[in-house]
Amino acid sequence: DGGITQSPKYLFRKEGQNVTLSCEQNLNHDAMYWYRQDPGQGLRLIYYSQIVNDFQKGDIAEGYSVSREKKESFPLTVTSAQKNPTAFYLCASRRGVSSGNTIYFGEGSWLTVV
């Protein structure tokens, strides 16, 4: 099946710990995104990448880092500098303009600080 796979589904982080959320897509999309969702809120953009080895900060990048070494993969690291990391995280990828320019989402990952 083609799609976007996020893992793990649930993750617990201790104070001061870095954790990495995985995102893999086999849709051959060039652009990938990470969004954060807090209760009762819409989605806010953390980072995005248009091509391999290139990425840009979104609206709430502080305390997060990403890499894009392969087209299929866009992992997100939540660092200890992120003071309030408990949230639902969604990875997404985008079809190109010629194919409708639409963004599709993975199933998400829950991160909880313990």
Interaction pattern, residues 65-84, with other proteins; x per rule: CB under 8 A: --------------------
Which of 5, 13, 22, 44 binds other proteins (CB under 8 A)? It is 44
**Of 18 and 28, CB closest to other proteins:** 28
User: Cβ of residue 58: shortest distance to other proteins, in angstroms?
Assistant: 7
List, in sequence order, every residue forming a beta bridge with 105; answer none if it has no partner.
92
> What b/e readout covers 56-71, taking b as 16+ CB neighbours within 10 angstroms?
eebeebeebbbbbeeb
**Of 18 and 103, CB closest to other proteins:** 103
**Residue 110 · residue 10 · CB < 8 Å:** yes
